[in-house]
Amino acid sequence: MPANQPITPEEIFARAKAIHEDIRTWRRTIHQHPELSFTEVQTARLVTSVLHDLGIEAETGVAKTGVVGHIEGAAGPTVGLRADMDALPIQEENGSEFDSQLSGLMHACGHDAHTAMLMGAATLLKGFADEGRLPGNVRLIFQPSEENRDAEGKSGGMRMVEEGALDNLDAVFGCHVDTRTVVGTIGTRPGPMMAAGDMFDLTITGFGGHGARPQLANDPILLASYVIQAVNHIVSRRIDPLEAGVISICIINAGTARNVIPESVKLAGTIRSMNPA
């Protein structure tokens, strides 16, 4: 095909359909072998192998276990495409033929699909580049540890930025699977599509004692109940009604006996916001 022949949506769809089985195989392979944050060694190895087979230059060990690939096209902008690779500490109970083979670990957030989709995109884009029809360059960013942070409090995304994965890019695109979206369609909108996520941990310390003599203790569980209610009022009473925000406390840990008031309560949760302020 002539090098100046524009790439059409119909051509993209046809080529994507032709590699559908490859993408599904990659996704199921990754799903069967989930790896937690910053341990995505086997996943990164699969990604690197696919990129090398396509003739794509790849950097490994970026942000510990990340992979960055480079596709050179014609003169034009350089665009980044990003996918996350890590799984979650959850026991799979789907009963599918490609369930996780590791007890207590599974891809419950779609990162297996994201990684397979980006390898599929790499296949298509490298094909167009080899034909001299790609109007620019593409950086393929396979990010580790989207779900968690390391001992220094840094996520895989933060470390990739520090190590230059986004340097000199004109734009970066990412996507996320969504069960609310009809298969075969893409959801988009002006402005933010998904919220930024932050995590918090809170320890409430009181004075323990016997459950039959609460007057001699300083009950942190009672105080924690007030804290939980107050936190759930932040969005409705402290945030502009036109702003989107969510605060969810998802972990409460305290006590080891039914008749003993503990000395402390640990709370942990997540904050989701569209406004970085």
Cα 50 from chain centroid (whole Å)? 21
Residue that is written with structure tokens 């998802």 in the block: 250
Least confident of 12-16, 129-133, 197-201, 250-254: 197-201
Q: What is the pTM for the complete model shown?
A: 0.86
Domain residue ranges of the chain, discontinuous segments joined by +: 9-174, 196-273
pLDDT at position 128, please?
A: 97
Q: Alpha helices, DSSP H only, in 54-85?
A: none
The stretch 167-178 carries a mean pLDDT of 95
The string of pLDDT tens digits covering residues 243-266 is: 889 999 999 999 999 999 999 999
- What is the rounded average pLDDT of the residues 232-239? 93
For 196-273, CATH number out of 2.60.40.10, 3.40.50.300, 3.40.50.2300, 3.30.70.360 equals 3.30.70.360
Candidate CATH numbers 3.40.640.10, 3.40.50.11810, 3.90.1010.10, 3.40.630.10; the one for domain 9-174: 3.40.630.10
Question: For residue range 74-103, what is the model confidence (pLDDT) as tens digits?
Answer: 999 999 999 999 999 999 999 999 999 999
Give the rounded percent of residues in the chain with a pLDDT score beyond 90. Answer: 88
Average pLDDT across the chain, whole number: 95
In single-letter form, the type of residue at position 184 comes to: G
Confidence band of 189 (pLDDT split at 50, 70, 90): confident
Pair of tokens at residue 152: 């220094």
The rounded distance, in Å, linking the Cα atoms of 40 and 47 is 10
Residue 147: pLDDT over 90? yes
- Contact at 8 Å (CB) between 4 and 134? no
DSSP 240: -
pLDDT tens per residue, range 28-68: 999 999 999 999 999 999 999 999 999 999 999 999 999 99
Please give the sequence-ordered ranges of beta strands (E in DSSP) within the chain, or none if there are none. 57-62, 66-71, 78-84, 137-143, 171-174, 196-205, 209-210, 245-253, 260-261, 264-273
Nearest to 164 by CA among 78, 41, 51: 78
Residue 2 is predicted with a pLDDT of 62
